[in-house]
Amino acid sequence: MNLLQEGRSKLCPNSLCSNANLPPQVPPPKFRFWQKVRAKDRCGHITGMEYIDTHVALIDLLDTHGWFYTVNTLHGCTTAEMLKAKHEPTLSIAEFELEAVED
């Protein structure tokens, strides 16, 4: 199974994805599926992961390369945080923009 097709590597909870399956040039992800995270004033749980290599980041005019996480910003948040959320319920966020939140 070639995880890096066209410079992108998507992982999903149902796939056989462990660090052993990653090509040697791809660092392991910092976060795990369903982990609660925060980015600025948004919180949520990781529901997807994608690794974007340097070449694809340049072609797509992205600011950075590496792991990007799909974060569901409503799952697992408090009622107050859900009411405050006036944005899309799912976001794609770069790894460096996230911090883990204790459950």
Report the sign of the C-alpha dihedral through residues 53, 58, 63, 69, in that order: negative
Alpha-carbon 32 to chain mean position: 9
Would you state the torsion angle of the CA atoms of residues 28, 102, 96, 47, taken in this order, to the nearest 10 degrees? 60
Token pair of 17 as six digits: 């994805």
Question: Strands 42-52 and 99-100: what pairing?
Answer: unpaired
Token pair of 48 as six digits: 């997807």
Sequence spans of domains, the chain: 8-15+30-100
Tens of pLDDT, residue by residue over 21-57, are 677 888 889 999 989 999 877 788 898 998 888 777 6
Tens of pLDDT, residue by residue over 48-84, are 998 888 777 677 666 777 898 999 877 656 777 667 7
